[in-house]
Homo-oligomer: A and B are copies of this chain.
Amino acid sequence: MTLKDIAKASGVDVSTVSRSLSGSYGIHKETRERVLAIAAQLDYRPNRIAKGLATGRSHTLALIVSDIRNPFFADIARGAEDAAFGANCDLVLCNSDLDPQKQVHYIQSLQEKRVDGILMNSVGSLDRVQQEFLSSTGIPVVLLNRPRSESNFSTVTPDNAGGGFMAGSRLVELGHRRIVHLTGPREDSNLRERARGFLRSMTGREDVAPTVLHGDHTFAGGYEMMQAALAADPNITAVFAGNDVVAFGAVRAVIEAGLRVPDDISIIGFDDVDLATVIHPPLTTVHQPKYETGHIAVEMLLTMAERQGPPIAEHRVLEVELIERQSCAPPRRPA
């Protein structure tokens, strides 16, 4: 079932059919209606790949995340896909594990497919030439964190520093003095900002002793960092985890150490993933709008794709909010 078939069936030229279907101007109303009727009757389905060849636009976007099993990215993906669906685009899913090789492979493959835009969680693991390559493809790119070097990629990020500040302030306010921040790799700009905000919330307070630990930004990493923190200073009373999953690992370590949350140790997370309400105790955390992030990112991609010419980098920062649940309390032991 092609344009040609329906042209034949309706006794006009394919170009007329094409115009009728695409609703262009300059077609006699009657002709169009007849053509449309026949197309419907024949149950015509346009071949989008042929259309793509002719127009140069694929109406396809890509999402490259480290791992879709990370609930944070699943939320992003859902927001992104909904926005893409709304714009009649489809979204191809890529899991990079932050492996530079895979990332480059994906980018090439996506370029060969002429995708209209790429939403990526990070280019942190790409070296200069790889970033250069991505940039040279001319494909619109939106990142979920700020790359270290200046680039023309757009970004949409949560207010990391603000969130870190909220978390730190709250802990201090509750009376905590020995506070540890469990975070991930120093290269991650989101995490760097969270740590910065956290520390800023207690500058000038000489009675507060913050320390920051770096480790794997995972459940296991949180577990291990928490054990290390407890070993290094048994008197800590509060922890701010770089994200919720790390917080969960910390909770586990605290419980296994025979202590309780929040009675002995207060814990605060970041992200506000679904699980945060499911675990015990429900986790106090800094909420960031994950779904909206994905949604907004593809909207940006779409407008970038519309506009011709070199992409103009745009940076959106989304507000965060402290969600008080039950993993924080005043310290029991004197600081």
Binding site for B on A (CB under 8 A): 45-50, 52-53, 58, 60, 62-63, 67-69, 71, 74-75, 77-78, 81-82, 85, 88, 90-95, 102, 108-114, 219, 248, 252, 255, 274-275, 278-280
Contacts and interface: CB of A to CB of B under 8 A. Distances in A.
A90 B94 contact: yes
- Of A69, A78, A94, A102, which is in contact with the most chain B CB atoms at under 10 Å from its CB? A69
A78 B69 contact: yes
A49 B81 contact: no
A94 B109 contact: no
B67 A95 contact: no
A155 B60 CA distance: 28
28 contacts: A45-B108, A45-B111, A47-B112, A48-B113, A49-B49, A49-B52, A49-B53, A49-B58, A49-B114, A68-B68, A68-B74, A69-B74, A69-B274, A78-B95, A81-B93, A82-B95, A85-B102, A88-B109, A90-B92, A90-B110, A90-B113, A91-B92, A92-B92, A93-B93, A219-B278, A252-B278, A275-B275, A278-B279
A20 B116 CA distance: 29
Q: Counting chain B CB atoms within 10 Å of each CB, which of A68, A219, A248, A252 scores highest?
A: A68
Given A49-B114, A69-B74, 10 more contacts: A46-B112, A49-B113, A60-B92, A63-B93, A68-B74, A82-B95, A90-B110, A90-B113, A93-B93, A275-B278
Contacts of A274: 69
Contacts of A49: 49, 52-53, 58, 113-114
Contacts of A67: 78
A172 B310 CA distance: 68
Contacts of A278: 219, 248, 252, 275, 279
Contacts of A71: 69, 71, 74
Contacts of A63: 93
A63 B108 CA distance: 22
B279 A255 contact: no
Contacts of A50: 53
A80 B219 CA distance: 24
Nearest to A70: B74
Most buried by B among A63, A111, A113, A248: A113
